[in-house]
């Protein structure tokens, strides 16, 4: 994730369209890997998500919310193991659910 931030700094107003598209890909990938579907270190992103971003029109038709929820459920199941100390996934979604529920 740090590599993404270093390689794709904030865009200026005079940037080309290609640079803006690349910056958008990097920003969306950072959001996916750093917030929505993060791993335990919160510093890595699975490159499979990059393949989903190749076509922006097709990416808009995916059920991203279901993928985020499935990732959170998988991480919660893994957190029940006795030797596991960390959890990944969108923990703010879990916090919002708990706040609403209680």
Average pLDDT over residues 63-90: 87
Express each pLDDT in 32-73 by its tens digit. Answer: 887 888 777 667 777 777 788 888 788 888 888 898 898 889
Q: What's the domain range around 35? A: 2-101
pTM: 0.70
Nearest 5°: the CA angle 80, 85, 90 is 75
Query: Count of domains in the chain?
Result: 1
3-state DSSP call for residue 94? helix
């Amino acid at each position: 994730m740090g590599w993404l931030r270093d390689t794709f700094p904030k865009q200026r107003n005079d940037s080309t369209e290609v640079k803006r598209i690349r910056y958008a890909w990097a920003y969306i990938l950072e959001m996916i890997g750093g917030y929505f579907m993060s791993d335990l270190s919160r510093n890595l992103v699975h490159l499979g998500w990059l393949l989903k971003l190749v076509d922006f029109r097709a990416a808009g038709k995916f059920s991203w919310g279901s993928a985020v929820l499935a990732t959170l459920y998988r991480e919660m199941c893994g957190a029940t193991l006795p030797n596991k100390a960390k959890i990944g996934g969108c923990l703010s979604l879990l916090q919002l659910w708990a706040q609403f529920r209680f």
